[in-house]
Amino acid sequence: MRKKKKYLKKAAAFAAAFSAAAVLAFTPGSQAEAATAATAATTTYVNSVYTNEPVTTEQAGLRPIAVMMPTDKAAQPSYGIGHAKVLYEIMEEGDISRQMAIIDDWTALTKIGNIRSCRAYYIPLAMEWDPILVHFGGVWYMKDWITRPDINNLSGTSEYGTGGDAPGASAFFRSSDRKAPHNAYISARGIMNASAQLGYSLTIRPAYYNTKHFQFAAGVNTLAQYGAGAANASVINLSNIFPYTKTGFTYNAADGLYYKTIHGKAHTDGLDGKQLAFANVIVQNTKWAPLDAKGYITFTDHDTTEDGYYFTHGKAIHITWQKTADYGPTRYFDDAGNEIQLNTGKTYIAVAQKGRLPVFS
């Protein structure tokens, strides 16, 4: 009981601190300006574990959220997806994919989602980042995963579909502009309040959190070091992997980013209308198997023998990948066995059914 009260006080204090900062930011007059200047003078920065970009130490210590978001055409656009520093897309039953957005700067977001259900194979990938998992139910195949005591999740309904708790369900809300199931959302305030009630830490948990994930290049990695081994990849077509969404990317040499499309259109964030763009695109070929006649499938998240592709700066190389522990990061290697050097910025990862390959030119 004492331990739970300690967590509740810590989470509540963390939420209060962010609320106070937001109020101060909108307080007019010299008092607010002076306070802002004083804060800026004492702020220290570190490189983000997600993007290698400079962030405050406070931001770096904030626990991320992992939000399940749909790719359904009727569900677009999602809100807050543009804040995802790492965005996963994986196939589900019905030959339709789903997304998991790893968001670290979520504390000011008033509308996050729409939010959909989870599947078991998303959880080991989420655990790499030790997030608070935000989902709207799931399927019974994930029961053993989602009920683990080390997993912190918020669910709008029974957490594994056919049963389980619904932790933080009161924090979710529905909009009137879309029909269910495409209209479920949550806010930063809702996440903070629910986490305080459930005793979830809002700061990174040292016992689980990895301070190192991707290997980032010291400068700009153009893949020129691979010579002819780096193929042209100004356009990436993932229609073979995700036939419903026909996910694609077009490289913009002006800023060095790949701009994402979905259903043949720009994939945008409902909060600001901006198109999603990534410095790094990874296709991770993965063993998979059907589970039942309803079409549910599973993926082998832990592996050391599968391959894939890394795209950056309009080029592509063949890679291999390894993941050997739930909380351990997935690591990516070139064909010489060297860990690849990602460029600073956001990363998109397509976990592809083995046998379905990207097309690029």
List, for residues 292-305, the tens digit of each pLDDT value: 999 999 999 999 99
What's the pLDDT at 37?
57
Does 18 have pLDDT greater than 70? no
- The predicted pLDDT at position 222 comes to 98
pLDDT tens across 89-147, in order? Answer: 999 999 999 999 999 999 999 999 999 999 999 999 999 999 999 999 999 999 999 99
Task: Please count the other Cβ atoms lying within 10 Å of the Cβ belonging to residue 46.
Answer: 13
Question: What's the rounded mean pLDDT across residues 246-272?
Answer: 98
> What percent of the chain lies above the pLDDT cut of 70?
89
Mean pLDDT of the chain: 91
Q: Are strands 235-237 and 359-360 parallel, antiparallel or unpaired?
A: antiparallel
Say what the pLDDT of residue 7 is. 43
- pTM higher than 0.75: yes
